A and B are shown apart, each in its own frame.
Chain A
Amino acid sequence: MRKPSDGAAQRTRRAFLTKSAALAGGGAIAAAGGARAAPLAIPQSNQEPGRTIEETAYGMPSKYEAHVRRRRTDVFKNRQNLSDWSMTPLQHQPGIITPNGLIFERHHAGTPDIDPDRHRLVIHGMVKQPLEFAMDDLTRYPSVSRFHFHECSGNGLTDWLKPASTTVQQTHGLLSGVLWTGVPASTLFEEAGIDPRGKWALFEGADSSAHARSIPLEKVLDDAIIAYAMNGEALRPENGYPVRVVIPGWEGNTSVKWLRRIKVGDQPWHLRSETARYTDPMPGGKWRQFSMVMECKSVITSPSGGQKLKGPGFYEVTGLAWSGAGKVRAVDVSFDGGKNWREATLEQPVMDKCLTRFKVGWNWNGGPAMLMSRAVDSTGYVQPTVADLQKTRAIVGFVQHHNAIQPWAVNQNGEVRNAINQA
């Protein structure tokens, strides 16, 4: 019985080989001026009409792309699927935008089905005038659209000290790139009028966990978005339909989905979600609290775990880099386990708190190699190794905020394996 992740890895490998073979084939023709065993036949698709246009439709990917799926966590398995998560297939994602059907999920009590005509958002507490908004009200305000990465604080939690995951979907798939559209949160706060004592805002969901987080007002007024759309359409139910807050660059759960209530206060609430959960174990039995910024990080998505190189020759090594503290300034790639590094090319545009695509050409000589990427952000922060993080944190149990360098080991057969903390 094959595990689902094995199937994904095999199909990934097939896609990768096909791409490599095409490159190699082109090279062979140019170099040798040779001929095929049989001339190219006219494809069947040239010789018969295609499908007609449907009167209405929501377009779906090709049936040949059916292996590109969001997958529920299968390394750390939850005993129920209400408070659970599913992961984005980053190994199949070109560019910096994740299609809506592939954006990772993390819910605390399942996905609600909310009628937008009945949904209400309120802002109250330390405000001059408590206000209620219907969805029709929110969509009438001047809107903003911004590209941002979205990452769960638990991304990578299964793979700190030794490899547990096979694919980059399993190691890094609690990550997506999204164009969010909505009202700047500052618009609604300004309309309600903030009491001068107000320093924090509580955001609370209409889901069955009523998930809530305390966020400093400085961040809310700077760049938070009350979002009703993503990537050119309404939010998907699993991503907060009909409205959520987006806290750019901060751990995903602060961007409370199915948003029903905002309350302004002078102190944080210290809820379970910010004491017993979403805190980081530290030396001496301590816990780091309100660690909400997602620090600078990168990962090579191709070649990545579970894939296989076709043979020696040229490969474009590519991946994603991001930082919740600003823009990606540079990404370096090592092929020898971190001894020597080459600066990669950053694909434009490079945006604030957004996925950035990096690329570097590599001629594989057929021998063992250890691939790593290391990002630097606009504050000068350099992506650390696990060993660097261990100097200040306690890596015990269910540890969040893993932004360490991800090594991928390539053996002489071209097989790519997760080598976290092994380099």
Chain B
Amino acid sequence: MQSTRHKLLLVLVAGVFSGCAGMGGAPAKSSTGIYLGATGPHPVQPLADKPRFGKAISEADVAAWNIDVRTSDGAGLPPGRGSVAQGRQIYAQKCAACHGPDGKGGAAYQYPGALFGGIGSMTKVPRILTPGSMYPYAPVLFDYTRRAMPMDRPQTLSNDETYALTAYLLSLSGLVPADAVMDAQSLPKVQMPNRDGFIVDDRPDAKAVRCMTNCK
């Protein structure tokens, strides 16, 4: 058993570090193209000495904590549904105190304020960042609202309420019609204007030179 796990980890580590120059060499990148900076070595005690203290559980045990949504395709979106009209009512009760009436921004809310607008501003100064202008995928709105909102009572909204708020906020941005209903099937299909606005980390990008005398 120990040796099986030992082999598994060795294979994994060997796999992920193949082609990695490590410290002192070229910048290391992950297999998915992410800039890692320097890697290892970081000596760890031999696996044979390692005890096991984790308690085996099932995925069902984690259900209430398992709130993440993979926003690019909506994997993890729960059952439930909600309409723009329902969302407008819930917004007035649970969100307007901070975000202002009709999503226009409120006294307690941080810059930039409004929950809509800014579409088309990315090539201008300033860029106006709202869910509609900034998020590449519509399920980001569901994930973030469910995990962190409302700020005074997060993780208390039902799935239906969260879908309804998502529908309402997308309608404020003009990204869904006024009669839209959002659920696990419809939400990932909403096309966001900034979907192609992101590039994966391509640093190091600066090309400074170590000049010592009579520089510039």
Q: Which residues of chain A have a CB within 8 Å of any CB of chain B? A: 78-80, 82-83, 108-109, 122-124, 129-134, 137-138, 140-142, 144, 146, 184, 186-188, 190-194, 196, 199-200, 202, 204, 208-210, 212, 216-219, 221-223, 249-250, 260-261, 263, 265, 267-272, 275-276, 279, 281-282, 284-293, 295, 323-327, 330, 332, 338-341, 343, 352-353, 374, 376, 378-379, 381-385, 388-389, 391-393, 396-398
Provided the pairs A210-B154, A290-B200, A293-B203 are in contact, do residues A285 and B127 lie with their beta carbons within 8 angstroms?
yes
With A275-B134, A379-B27, A391-B206 already in contact, 16 other A-B pairs whose C-beta atoms are closer than 8 Å: A109-B151, A133-B55, A140-B53, A141-B50, A142-B49, A192-B54, A218-B28, A221-B13, A261-B65, A269-B68, A285-B123, A293-B201, A295-B204, A323-B37, A379-B24, A388-B208
Choose from B20, B56, B199, B205 the contact partner of A129 (Cβ within 8 Å): B56
Would you give the shortest CB distance from B20 to chain A, in whole angstroms?
8
* CB nearest neighbor in B for A139: B53
Is A144 a contact partner of B44 (Cβ separation < 8 A)?
yes
The interface residues of chain B lying within 8 Å CB-to-CB of A382 are 206, 208-210
Is B208 a contact partner of A79 (Cβ separation < 8 A)?
no
Provided the pairs A210-B147, A376-B210, A396-B125 are in contact, do residues A288 and B71 lie with their beta carbons within 8 angstroms?
no
Is B68 a contact partner of A267 (Cβ separation < 8 A)?
no
- Cα distance A393–B45 in the bound complex, in angstroms: 43
Count chain A CB atoms within 10 A of each CB in B34, B129, B135, B206 and give the residue with the most: B206
- Cα distance A265–B135 in the bound complex, in angstroms: 21
- Cα distance A66–B178 in the bound complex, in angstroms: 58
Asked if B122 is at the interface (CB within 8 A of a chain A CB), the reply is: yes
Is A287 a contact partner of B37 (Cβ separation < 8 A)?
no
Choose from B13, B51, B110, B199 the contact partner of A289 (Cβ within 8 Å): B199
Choose from B54, B72, B134 the contact partner of A270 (Cβ within 8 Å): B72
* CB nearest neighbor in B for A225: B42
Is B207 a contact partner of A140 (Cβ separation < 8 A)?
no
Provided the pairs A199-B31, A340-B213 are in contact, do residues A284 and B123 lie with their beta carbons within 8 angstroms?
yes
* CB nearest neighbor in B for A216: B30
Is A199 a contact partner of B32 (Cβ separation < 8 A)?
yes
Is A200 a contact partner of B5 (Cβ separation < 8 A)?
no
The interface residues of chain A lying within 8 Å CB-to-CB of B197 are 285-287
Asked if B97 is at the interface (CB within 8 A of a chain A CB), the reply is: no
Please tell me which stretch of B88-96, B137-145, B158-166 contacts chain A, meaning at least 4 of its Cβ atoms lie within 8 angstroms of it: B137-145
Number of A-B contacts defined by CB within 8 Å: 296
Is B215 a contact partner of A338 (Cβ separation < 8 A)?
yes
Choose from A131, A184, A190, A338 the contact partner of B57 (Cβ within 8 Å): A131
- Cα distance A405–B144 in the bound complex, in angstroms: 36
The interface residues of chain B lying within 8 Å CB-to-CB of A204 are 65, 68
Would you give the shortest CB distance from B196 to chain A, in whole angstroms?
9
Would you give the shortest CB distance from A162 to chain B, in whole angstroms?
15
Is B201 a contact partner of A292 (Cβ separation < 8 A)?
yes
- Cα distance A389–B206 in the bound complex, in angstroms: 6
Is B216 a contact partner of A339 (Cβ separation < 8 A)?
yes
- Cα distance A339–B216 in the bound complex, in angstroms: 6
Would you give the shortest CB distance from A267 to chain B, in whole angstroms?
6
Q: Can you name 28 A-B pairs with beta carbons within 8 Å?
A: A80-B110, A108-B148, A122-B62, A124-B59, A130-B59, A130-B62, A133-B54, A141-B51, A146-B42, A184-B42, A191-B50, A209-B147, A216-B30, A216-B34, A222-B42, A249-B37, A267-B72, A286-B199, A290-B201, A293-B35, A295-B203, A341-B211, A353-B37, A382-B210, A391-B207, A396-B125, A396-B126, A397-B127
- Cα distance A84–B210 in the bound complex, in angstroms: 37
Is A270 a contact partner of B136 (Cβ separation < 8 A)?
yes
- Cα distance A191–B47 in the bound complex, in angstroms: 10
Would you give the shortest CB distance from A90 to chain B, in whole angstroms?
22
Is A209 a contact partner of B208 (Cβ separation < 8 A)?
no
Is A275 a contact partner of B198 (Cβ separation < 8 A)?
yes
Choose from B47, B66, B69, B210 the contact partner of A374 (Cβ within 8 Å): B210
Interface size of B by CB at 8 A reads: 94
Choose from A186, A272, A325, A339 the contact partner of B37 (Cβ within 8 Å): A325
- Cα distance A323–B37 in the bound complex, in angstroms: 9
Is A132 a contact partner of B16 (Cβ separation < 8 A)?
no
Is A218 a contact partner of B203 (Cβ separation < 8 A)?
no
The interface residues of chain B lying within 8 Å CB-to-CB of A275 are 71, 134-137, 140, 198
Choose from B5, B71, B198 the contact partner of A286 (Cβ within 8 Å): B198
The interface residues of chain A lying within 8 Å CB-to-CB of B57 are 122, 124, 130-132
Choose from A190, A199, A379 the contact partner of B5 (Cβ within 8 Å): A190
Is A265 a contact partner of B214 (Cβ separation < 8 A)?
no
- Cα distance A137–B50 in the bound complex, in angstroms: 13
The interface residues of chain A lying within 8 Å CB-to-CB of B53 are 133, 137-138, 140-141
Would you give the shortest CB distance from A250 to chain B, in whole angstroms?
7
Is B44 a contact partner of A339 (Cβ separation < 8 A)?
no
Choose from A141, A193, A218, A267 the contact partner of B36 (Cβ within 8 Å): A218
Count chain B CB atoms within 10 A of each CB in A292, A293, A341, A388 and give the residue with the most: A293
- Cα distance A202–B65 in the bound complex, in angstroms: 13
- Cα distance A216–B71 in the bound complex, in angstroms: 17
Would you give the shortest CB distance from A5 to chain B, in whole angstroms?
21
Is B36 a contact partner of A184 (Cβ separation < 8 A)?
no
- Cα distance A69–B197 in the bound complex, in angstroms: 41
B10-52: contact bitstring with A at CB < 8 Å (1 yes, 0 no)? 0011001100100111111011101111111010110101111
Is B38 a contact partner of A353 (Cβ separation < 8 A)?
yes
7 closest Cβ contacts across the A-B interface? A131-B54, A285-B122, A384-B206, A326-B38, A137-B53, A216-B30, A210-B147
